[in-house]
Amino acid sequence: MRQPAGRSARRSGGERKPREERWAELIEVATQVFYEKGYDGASLQDIADRLGMLKGSLYYYIQSKEDLLFDVISAVHKQGLEVVRGRADVPGGPLDKLESVIVGHVEHTCRNLVPTAVFLHELSALPVERREEILGSEHAYQGVFRDLVEQGQAAGQVRADLDPRLAALSILGSTNWVYRWFRPGGTFTPEQIGAEMAEMAIRGIATEDVLKARTA
């Protein structure tokens, strides 16, 4: 998180909330407003009104609306990346780890529908260089999936004829789409969706020997 110079633990004078708490509230409110109105339709005045503060006070934290969108999307990406990296750090072979990552990604998406929608819808509103700053030159999030596919190929668990990047994009594309149709309290739970999508993805890339072993 970027922090304005001179930010201290608490606001001065009559300000009531610690600055880190206010910053977290700003990110949460901005995320909701961008979700409801879209980046183009949202204004800093909308966000300030929702926070109950003067528009001018926002400039203590940010320099522009684009600056705020950058911070919102950065926060979403960072949280998701922490989830998938954590889920990759489990015992087992590459496909065990990939299955864990897919389940974690899907469950995280289902439980964070609004931030996910803002990330997927509004990332393109940022200039290319700012998008790359968030995603990383190697697209770190996608890289977790791609690396596990490559490791699976090296271990003889994933079909050698597959392109790891394309396989990773296919898995991410299908799992990302969950945010469009998942409804909390609906027919399917995040756990069920994650488990079934992971099973379908693994079956789509695994070697015949692995598939036989999984059904044995």
Domain ranges (residues) in the chain: 19-62, 73-215
pLDDT, position 19: 77
Query: What's the average model confidence in pLDDT over 45-70?
Result: 94
Query: What's the average model confidence in pLDDT over 57-81?
Result: 94
What residues contact 87, with CB distance under 8 A and at least 6 apart? 97, 100, 101, 103, 104, 105
pLDDT, position 20: 82
pLDDT tens for each residue of 186-201: 999 999 999 999 999 9
pLDDT, position 215: 81
pLDDT tens for each residue of 120-135: 999 999 999 999 999 9
Query: Strand, helix or coil at 18?
Result: strand
Pair 72, 34: CB distance under 8 Å: yes
Q: 73-215 has which fold?
A: Tetracycline Repressor; domain 2 (1.10.357)
Query: Above 50 in pLDDT, residue 116?
Result: yes
d(CA 16, CA 213): 60
Query: Above 90 in pLDDT, residue 94?
Result: yes
d(CA 68, CA 131): 13
What is the average pLDDT score of the chain?
90
User: CA torsion 200→203→206→207, rounded to 10°?
Assistant: -170
Query: What's the average model confidence in pLDDT over 2-6?
Result: 39
Query: Above 60 in pLDDT, residue 1?
Result: no
Count other C-beta atoms under 10 Å from residue 24's C-beta: 14
- CATH superfamily of the 19-62 domain: Homeodomain-like (1.10.10.60)
pLDDT, position 17: 56
